[in-house]
Amino acid sequence: MRHLLNTLFVTSEDIYLSLDGENVVANRNQQIVARYPLHTLSGILSFAYPGASPALMGACAKRDIALAFCTPRGKFLARVCGESSGNVLLRRQQYRVADDPEKSCRIARCMIFGKLHNARWSMERTRRDHGLRLDAERLASASAALKALLPAVLDTVDPDRLRGLEGVGSAAYFGVLNEMILQGKDTFCFNGRSRRPPLDPLNALLSFAYSLLAHDCASALESVGLDAYVGFLHRDRPGRTSLALDLMEEMRPCMADRFVLTLINNRVVGADDFVRQKGGATLLTDQARREFLRRWQEKKKDTLTHPYLREKLPWGLVPYVQALVLSRYLRGDLDAYPPFLWK
């Protein structure tokens, strides 16, 4: 089993990354402020403007270390990719399946089944643990609605119908998201998704968590030899890692949403951790973003028993395991793609 290595998050806006032997070197004003051994890293995510040296980019590509760049506010800019890994026959099969709507739907429906299943169990957990502090009947009703959708999701071979079912399920789930917020309801009130840019603190947290999860999924897919840009549910678009967005669907409720709810309900974040810009964009402060990233990395070290492998592993390896079983399905080793079903 693959080991969970660290992700280096560069949050200071004035840091330039370079290579010194087998180390990543963080430089500020041409002065070395830190160094990190490459062999301890699985990824580098930089929120700094200066960027990184070509030598470091080449070293990361050679060692399969995911290197990506975002603006200081978290908007994705670019990723560094080396030579494609894995068997070219696997990628050819991926492209053939992606071009066949029915075959694509057979994979995508499993991912959406996982998403709705995990959303339902997130609600059930909240209802079980905090039933006296929320409207349990609303959560039970939404949970029942998601459960009723699951058979139809598994039966459909029409991508457009699948998207419609996913939309109905997401509406039911987000319709009771406020019930799962137990603290700071004045600050964290969900009135619908806003993405580019997020217009309120809750959407700012969700968007940041989804960006991190998408980065992890894209890295996992490329590590097993799949093309992260060719998906089965999300349509092709230049620069968009469509397959990573597909894969993360089943992980959104249990990895990203639950993480955000935990931050809110444990009072880790509050009203003072956000800034509102002209035009209404709401963003995390620098300090809050650092704390978010620190806790995200800690969360990835928590362990669980994977429902398909029946093995204990860190949460941070879930995207890799799902990418691996997806590649096995495409190779013909499995009869169906087994989504990640959390309880």
Residue 1 pLDDT class (50, 70, 90 cuts): very low
Range of the domain at 223: 88-331
Residues 186, 72, single domain; the answer is no
- pLDDT for residue 4 is more than 70: no
Render pLDDT for 203-255 as a digit per residue (tens, 0 to 9). 999 999 998 999 889 888 887 788 899 999 988 888 788 999 999 999 999 99
Domain boundary among 29, 57, 80: 80
Give pLDDT tens digits for 166-185.
Answer: 999 999 999 888 888 888 88
**Pair 226, 192 in one domain:** yes
Instruction: Phi first, then psi: give them for residue 207, nearest 5 degrees.
Output: -65, -40
Output the CA–CA distances (angstroms, integers) from residue 169 to 6, 112, 115, 116, in the order listed.
34, 9, 9, 7
pLDDT of residue 298: 87
CA dist 181 and 264 (Å) reads 7
Condensed to tens digits (0 to 9), the pLDDT of residues 14-51 reads 889 999 889 999 998 888 888 889 888 877 878 787 88
Q: Given a cut of 80, is residue 5 above it in pLDDT?
A: no
**Together in a domain, 14 and 106:** no
**One domain for residues 198 and 288:** yes
> End of a domain among 60, 80, 100?
80
Q: How many domains does the chain have?
A: 2
Q: How far apart are CA 266 and CA 268, in angstroms?
A: 6
Verify that 65 and 134 share a domain, yes or no: no
Q: Which of 35, 57, 80 is the last residue of a domain?
A: 80
Q: Residue for token digits 């897919």?
A: 221
Q: Are 309 and 340 in contact (CB under 8 A)?
A: no
Token readout for 168 is: 């109905």
Do 64 and 180 belong together in one domain? Answer: no
Please give the structure tokens belonging to residue 135.
């409207």
Domain co-membership, 216 together with 196: yes
Token pair for residue 225?
A: 């030899």
The CATH code of the domain that includes 297 is 1.20.120.920
The reply to whether 209 and 317 lie within a common domain is yes
**How many helices, marked H, and strands, marked E, lie in the chain?**
10, 12
pTM of the model: 0.81
Quote the CA–CA distance of 258 and 304 in Å, as a whole number.
Answer: 15
Q: CA–CA separation, 206 vs 258, rounded Å? A: 10
Whether 226 contacts 323, CB under 8 Å: yes
> 44 near 60, Cβ under 8 Å?
yes
